[in-house]
Structure 1
Amino acid sequence: MKELILANTRPGGTALLGDIIRLYLAAEDLPLWQAGEKELEKLGIAPPFWAFAWAGGQALAQYILDNPDLVKGKRVLDFACGSGLQGIAALKAGAAEVLAADIDPHAIAATDLNAALNQVRLITTSENLIGRSNPGWDLVLAGDVCYDGPMADEIMTWLHKLAASGTQVLLGDPGRTYLPRQGLQRLISYSVQTTSALEDTDVRNAVVWELIPSEQKYGKDQEEKSFS
């Protein structure tokens, strides 16, 4: 699995973070970039979300590096980790422990490779954590998870339950279709250069949101602030 990733990616920096964090990423001159569903099936892999540094994840990673007190000494969950970018950023910023979770085993393999590339150590799991109670995470990071309607609803319901239990939850999102319209507090936005081969634009305005605990979620004041 790792051999396949190494053969189809190239180590490089990201548009927003530069070379502060390097990842094994697909490149336009490599087969993985051009592969369609049939080619991916032949390779035995699902769509390789782990091979790209998505704008929401880059925004979260940059915010963590700019605000290391958010993670210093804390236990962090990098949910739907993809490449592991957010988890790696958390460790570089001083997190005590990071669990990187993704149901795609190729994402877990890529995350392990990327962690080694950046000389950090994290824990990985391919278990589906949605619906689980918090075993001790201080902070949950979720980047670019609102691109599919039913899945986004399920994930956000769970994340709001975690927030209601006292867990800080940060969401990185570049304006995906199924981003909720309430229950979020805007923290910061970043302009992230991307490519029209992946997105519908060459630049994405990626926002870092904090989930509002459920007891505040429907309060008039908080609702009015949601997209301020």
Structure 2
Amino acid sequence: MANGETIADRSAFIYAHTRAAPVPHAPEICLHVADEATALWYKTEEELGSIGLPPPFWAFAWAGGQALARYILDHPETVSGRRVMDFASGSGLVAIAAAKAGGREVEAVDIDAFAIDAIRINASANYVAVKVRHENLIGRDEGWDVVLAGDICYERDIAANVIAWLAQLQERGALVLIGDPGRAYLPREKLVPLATYRVPVTRELEDAEIKVSKVWALKGERATIDI
């Protein structure tokens, strides 16, 4: 059973266990976030009656996503007037930034049912229109102009599969941007750094209160697309 399907009202659960707060490195955006990751994780498992659920990625502003959101807000020409897809959107932070920066059509994609509700809640709180999709789109190409991906390099196999897919989209002509603070499976040899930020984060999630995080483009002829 997919994560979250046994909770009748996921939106109510999210409102009950998070609070609205400005994103530290992109204060133009407000997200419903949790104060304690472990407590929320346990509470979700308790409500679902299931042990071993993935972390509640949707309830936090992760370092890579904050960096990518900041970059987009500071460089609206990256997405303005374009069709944008935010992959593994989590809270919807990056998708919301793209919508605020003038994306013509912005899609936020995630496989976590809680994330889907969280994105809807957060998009509404920021008065932007974001199309939310509860799907696994790896390997598909629907003609997006810009593809955004924050904090996707936690696991070796997933990172390899996603990067290979993003490379195909870039080769076709999409602008691909990745936000990451240097996770273990980030393939630096395949990437070009575009911007560096010092991003405030919580010590409960990270190993420091400030994570040096970068926005990356994939190497190749499309990595230097004029934006």
Give the direction of change, closer, same or farther, for the CA distance of 1:33–1:117 in structure 2 (3 Å limit). farther
2:39 corresponds to 1:34: yes
Q: CA deviation at 1:118?
A: 0.2
Aligned to 1:130: 138
Q: CA deviation at 1:172?
A: 0.1
2:40–2:56: 8 Å Cα contact kept in structure 1? no
Equivalent residue for 2:193, pick from 182, 186, 194: 186
Aligned to 2:160: 153
Aligned to 1:4: 13
2:64 corresponds to 1:75: no
Alignment partners' CA distance in 1, 2:184 and 2:100? 31
2:81–2:103: 8 Å Cα contact kept in structure 1? yes
Local SS of the residue matching 1:43: helix
Q: What is the TM-score with the length of structure 1 in the denominator?
A: 0.88
Alignment partners' CA distance in 2, 1:130 and 1:116? 27
Structure 1 window deviating more from structure 2 (43-52 vs 101-110): it is: 43-52
1:56–1:173: 8 Å Cα contact kept in structure 2? yes
Equivalent residue for 1:118, pick from 116, 119, 126: 126
Aligned to 2:98: 90
2:74 counterpart letter in structure 1: D
% identical aligned pairs:
49
Equivalent residue for 1:52, pick from 60, 69, 81: 60
Aligned to 1:168: 175
- CA deviations on 1:118-151 (whole Å, 9 max, x unpaired) are 0011111111000112x22100000000011111
1:79–1:140: 8 Å Cα contact kept in structure 2? yes
Q: CA deviation at 1:205?
A: 0.3
2:41–2:56: 8 Å Cα contact kept in structure 1? no
Q: CA deviation at 1:35?
A: 4.0
Alignment partners' CA distance in 1, 2:41 and 2:143? 40
Q: CA deviation at 1:33?
A: 4.6
2:76–2:102: 8 Å Cα contact kept in structure 1? yes
Long gaps (5+) in structure 2: 1-9
Q: CA deviation at 1:47?
A: 2.0
Alignment partners' CA distance in 2, 1:106 and 1:36? 12
Aligned to 2:7: none
Alignment partners' CA distance in 1, 2:128 and 2:102? 11
Q: What is the TM-score with the length of structure 2 in the denominator?
A: 0.88
CA RMSD of aligned residues (A): 1.7
Equivalent residue for 1:204, pick from 197, 200, 211: 211
Local SS of the residue matching 2:189: coil
Alignment partners' CA distance in 2, 1:201 and 1:149? 23
2:47 counterpart letter in structure 1: L
Equivalent residue for 1:142, pick from 136, 145, 149: 149
1:142–1:172: 8 Å Cα contact kept in structure 2? yes
Alignment partners' CA distance in 2, 1:17 and 1:72? 18
Alignment partners' CA distance in 1, 2:137 and 2:219? 21
Long gaps (5+) in structure 1: 223-228
Alignment partners' CA distance in 2, 1:54 and 1:189? 15
